[in-house]
Structure 1
Amino acid sequence: MSTPTYDFFRATVLRTHRLSAGLLRVVLGGPGLDAVASGGRDQRLKLFLPQEGQDEPVLPEVLDADWYAGWRALDPEVRGIMRTYTIRDVRRERGREPAELDIDFALHGDLGPASRWANRAVPGDRLTLLAPVVPDNGGVDFRPPAGTDWVLLCADETAVPAVAAILEWLPAGTVVKAWISVGSPEDRIELPTKCQAEVSWLTRPGALPAAVAAALFPAGAPYAWVAGEAGVVREVRRHLVGARAFAPGAVTFAGYWRRGASEDALLPVT
């Protein structure tokens, strides 16, 4: 029998604070969170949020390997709202304090269920996590192959937490070119890193593909990580493997959301 790499955890909100005009950090706690592991970079987990009027999310009575089928079988108007987010940080137990886990929420203008929940979150609010319990797990996509000479990061505001974690994780001296599209200058945040990173913030709608197409790239073998709205991600990837001749294996891409659709209806980017 294989060892599980993910497990369910009940968590509560400890506190929240704004990182920028459109980015809110929610700090979670709970005695079981000491078991959460993270591979860093763009490590993802599942959040299960309560519906309006609920104190905590409704989930199947049995949370085992078949949890997804059980969750799908529940009434969509009642079951916990499932969303995917990046683990921004896990702080281990210090003395008697339990572990703390940070999730950064991009507050979309359309105020979907996750944005609504985060905006209203107060200490004591309850949710459930499906989080990794081993560092090397399938929830990390940022994996530069051996021989990579420089890294390209392309993202929108939903992927800023992952970009921040990637820049913290990369070894000192790594050459990085990054383009990040956000709604306004007030959405920019500090991105601490030991890399040789050149970060360009874009605030004009739809500017990301054009900015990448017009850019001068460093010499050497590249590795690209592209995340954000699915249509934009697809356009940037096609440019990289087409006009720029990036090897397909040197481009990791993820549609974090699709315009006009919820995560429940989001299909893989092709």
Structure 2
Amino acid sequence: MTEAPFQFFTLHVLRTTRISPSFVRVTFGGEDIPRLASAGRDQRVKLFFPRPGQDAPVLPGPEDGHWWPAWRALDPAVRGIMRTYTVRELRRESQELDIDFAVHELSPGCDEGPATRWALNASPGDRVGTLAPIHEENDGYDFRPPEGADWILLTGDESALPALAGNLESLPPGVPARVWITLQHAADRCALPTRADARVTWLVREESAPAAEDAIRAADDLPQGTPYAWIAGESATVRAVRRHLVRERGYDRRAVKFTGYWRRGTSEDVLLVTGEDA
């Protein structure tokens, strides 16, 4: 039998770090972490959180076959709460996995934001499940600049910041990269190590910065040659930036990778039930 490329694993919290006003880094441990793989870049995994009253999430068993219909078949009131996150760093030798959670403060009694609530209250020993790749080459990442791309355009918001950081880290030395990152707080700015010739523009909402689409439209000094663009974050913003690049700047639509990580006014639970993309 062929081994499934993505498998379920159990993780436990080792420590949490509030790295900025809008981000909590959770470092997970687990004896199976050496089996996990990551392509770096915008490598995504599924995390499954326990529901109130549970000490671990309810997941499909290994005998249940394909994970998606097996998870959907579980009682929605019992099954683990599923969210998608980017691997910030995988350290197999020390059996550690870092996930950066973009969090927002929740009002008392609010039922929304179960992942934010979990991350803000996570303690050592808390358990979650993950569906993660076991091969470095897998279909769980999207940042794939083709041969022949002369320069890279990246843009996203808080939800995409861990992926943006991974994409920049993966670029070869000297490749031109132009980056726009939308944040709520100036204190959420962070170091973005890269060997690329990267120019990063931070668009901070509390400083009345323009929207990403407007900032990119106003850019008149972009590199020459064939671009490759990667856009992620709130879905309406992602679509607006893509339309600008394809319709107004004439970029080849095949060279513009776009992903809606979330949709304003809609929870991921609703999107999962309806089968829609963000």
Q: Which residue pairs with 1:85 in the alignment?
A: 85
Q: Which residue pairs with 2:218 in the alignment?
A: 214
Mapped to 1, the partners of 2:121 and 2:198 lie a distance apart of 35
Shift of 1:180: 0.3
Mapped to 1, the partners of 2:167 and 2:25 lie a distance apart of 17
RMSD over aligned CA atoms reads 1.5
Mapped to 2, the partners of 1:46 and 1:244 lie a distance apart of 35
- The reply on whether 1:239 has 2:244 as its aligned counterpart is yes
- The reply on whether 1:254 has 2:263 as its aligned counterpart is no
Amino acid at match of 1:5: P
Q: Is the 8 A contact 2:58 2:78 kept in 1?
A: yes
Tell which deviates more after alignment, 202-211 or 252-261: 202-211
Equivalence map 1:6-85=2 (5 Å):
6-62=6-62, 64-85=64-85
In structure 2, relative to structure 1, the CA distance for the partners of 1:31 and 1:178 (3 Å cut) is same
Amino acid at match of 1:187: D
Q: Is the 8 A contact 2:172 2:196 kept in 1?
A: yes
Q: List runs of 5+ in structure 1 lacking aligned partners.
A: none
Aligned partner of residue 198 in structure 2, secondary structure: strand
Moved over 4 A (4+): none
Mapped to 2, the partners of 1:91 and 1:146 lie a distance apart of 29
Amino acid at match of 1:128: G
Q: What do the CA deviations read for 1:189-216 (whole angstroms, capped 9, x no partner)?
A: 1111111110001012761111111112
Mapped to 1, the partners of 2:43 and 2:65 lie a distance apart of 20
Q: Is the 8 A contact 2:64 2:70 kept in 1?
A: no
Q: Is the 8 A contact 2:234 2:261 kept in 1?
A: yes
Mapped to 1, the partners of 2:181 and 2:69 lie a distance apart of 36
Question: Percent identity between the aligned chains?
Answer: 54
Aligned partner of residue 31 in structure 1, secondary structure: coil
Mapped to 1, the partners of 2:7 and 2:61 lie a distance apart of 15
Q: Is the 8 A contact 1:33 1:99 kept in 2?
A: yes
- The reply on whether 1:177 has 2:182 as its aligned counterpart is no
Q: What do the CA deviations read for 1:116-155 (whole angstroms, capped 9, x no partner)?
A: 0000011000000100100110001000111011100010
In structure 2, relative to structure 1, the CA distance for the partners of 1:63 and 1:89 (3 Å cut) is farther
Q: What do the CA deviations read for 1:64-123 (whole angstroms, capped 9, x no partner)?
A: 432222221222221100000001111122xxxx41011000003456011100000110
Q: Is the 8 A contact 1:168 1:194 kept in 2?
A: yes
Q: Which residue pairs with 1:106 in the alignment?
A: 102
TM-score, scaled to structure 2: 0.91
Aligned partner of residue 242 in structure 1, secondary structure: helix
Amino acid at match of 1:167: L
In structure 2, relative to structure 1, the CA distance for the partners of 1:262 and 1:63 (3 Å cut) is farther
Mapped to 2, the partners of 1:178 and 1:163 lie a distance apart of 9
Q: Is the 8 A contact 2:56 2:128 kept in 1?
A: yes
Mapped to 2, the partners of 1:51 and 1:174 lie a distance apart of 45
TM-score, scaled to structure 1: 0.94
Amino acid at match of 2:202: W
Aligned partner of residue 248 in structure 2, secondary structure: coil
Aligned partner of residue 32 in structure 2, secondary structure: helix
Q: Is the 8 A contact 1:19 1:189 kept in 2?
A: no
In structure 2, relative to structure 1, the CA distance for the partners of 1:202 and 1:63 (3 Å cut) is farther
